[in-house]
Amino acid sequence: MGLDPKRTVAELRELQQLTGDADGAQRVAWTDTWQRAREWLRGKVAGTRAEETVDAAGNQWFTLHGDSDRALLIGGHIDSVPNGGWLDGALNVVAGVEVLRRLADDASPPVTVRLVNWADEEGARFGRSLFGSSAAAGSMSDQDELRSRTDAQGISLPDALSEHGVQLDSASDASAELEGAAAYLELHIEQGPVLESVDLPLGVVLGTFGVERHQVTFRGQAAHAGSTPMDKRRDALAGAAKLALEIRPIAAEVGAGAVCTSGGVVCKPGIVTSVVETAEQLLDQRHLDAGQLARMLELAKKAASRFAEEEDVEVSWQRIWGIEPILFDASLIELADETVREVAGTSHRLPSGPLHDAAEVSRAGIPTVMLFVQSLRGLSHTKVEDTKPEHLELSVQALDRLADKTIARLSG
């Protein structure tokens, strides 16, 4: 059986029929529909010689043993957000099955090849993304906090996991799976508009953005909307409003893909007859370069202080969450670039705004690279998420060829 990229597209449609509805994909992790998708996947791999195992975090592995125990990993996630798209995560897994089929045709490969379907990449039910990959990568350190998490129905995370054979306390034992892993490849839809805007089907991902997420609180004085003259006001919202606009020139000045979002402002007392006393603003800043990310944060802090002074209010910063940029492996990036040029003529290098399982694997020290395929209109996490079939087919070809090149490198 040679590589058949059209089959991948047909199988993705089949999966959508089986696990989606009129509102989109419904493969939320730790649900019956997710389980059905995993069983479907098991059936697809059954025709190859790959052996299935499920690790302590619920990750589903399919191993094609090679002449050496050094392993090439190909990964994706079959879980989706509620009302999600048909490709996010699933493309990587189903394309990986096609690569396994093609490899299983020949005598055993020189290195072991493993396809992994990571458990709960999206974190849709319990708000904890990258569950399975962080357990395997050894970076899961929030078990205590996860123990008390519940879903919208009040079901606890440990109970939902144990229904699927996973014990939260031992999930980190999944780290044993990465022993022997020598490279990790992940194909994903871009989920953004960049490749479409340059009219290219495929791109090579340089790494995932570092993120700084803060709550910025401006504090002024509540005062009567009728009796307080304009020049006597201490309006907290004025500070937040100025900052919401200033982040644009700051992102432009820092450049190189910098993005910055004022995601919301909560005003108190929040009534039409009062000047705003406190404005709690949510700020999200992202960059691929740690130094530039720090600079962008510094510039925003300086601007906020200046606006606070201008408006006679106070400002304070509270860090909500952050992560360092994660850069993929330089030599695998070159190999991926060469592959994309061979398959599609022209390559394009770009960072990833969203996090991916690949970031966790890379953090664990395993040489990693990702391929992106164009997303139509840049949309994802919605039923209208789509990619042209011919681009999907090219992406399967590229993943297959990159796997071959990586195997050659690992065995050379």
Only one of the segments 84-92, 204-212, 239-247, 313-321 lies at the binding site for Zn ion (rule: CB under 5 A); that segment is: 84-92
Kindly write out the interface string for residues 267-286 of this chain, putting x where it contacts Zn ion by CB under 5 A and - elsewhere: --------------------
| CB of residue 336 to Zn ion, shortest distance in Å | 18
**192-196 own/partner pairs: CB under 8 Å, 24+ apart:** 192/353, 192/375, 192/378, 193/375, 193/377, 193/378, 194/348, 194/350, 194/378, 195/348, 195/350, 195/372, 195/373, 195/374, 195/375, 196/374, 196/375, 196/376, 196/377, 196/378
Calculate the dihedral angle through the C-alpha atoms of 11, 372, 36, 127, rounding to the nearest 10 degrees.
-160
Decide whether 88 or 360 has the Cβ nearer to Zn ion: 88
Instruction: Tell the residue number behind the tokens 């195997």, with chain if given.
Output: 407
- Rounded Cα distance between 29 and 38, Å, is 10
Q: Contacts with Zn ion in 85-124 (CB under 5 A)?
A: 88-89
Instruction: Tell the residue number behind the tokens 């009302």, with chain if given.
Output: 83
Q: By rule CB under 5 A, what count of residues binds Zn ion?
A: 2
Decide whether 191 or 281 has the Cβ nearer to Zn ion: 191
- Rounded Cα distance between 34 and 132, Å, is 14
Residue 55, token pair as written in the block: 């690790």
| CB of residue 80 to Zn ion, shortest distance in Å | 8
First to last CA, the chain: 26
Decide whether 89 or 351 has the Cβ nearer to Zn ion: 89
| CB of residue 182 to Zn ion, shortest distance in Å | 24
* Closest CB to Zn ion: residue number: 89
| CB of residue 121 to Zn ion, shortest distance in Å | 6
Decide whether 9 or 103 has the Cβ nearer to Zn ion: 9
| CB of residue 89 to Zn ion, shortest distance in Å | 4
| CB of residue 190 to Zn ion, shortest distance in Å | 11
Only one of the segments 27-35, 48-56, 82-90, 159-167 lies at the binding site for Zn ion (rule: CB under 5 A); that segment is: 82-90
Type of residue numbered 205? V
The residue ranges that bind Zn ion (CB under 5 A) are 88-89
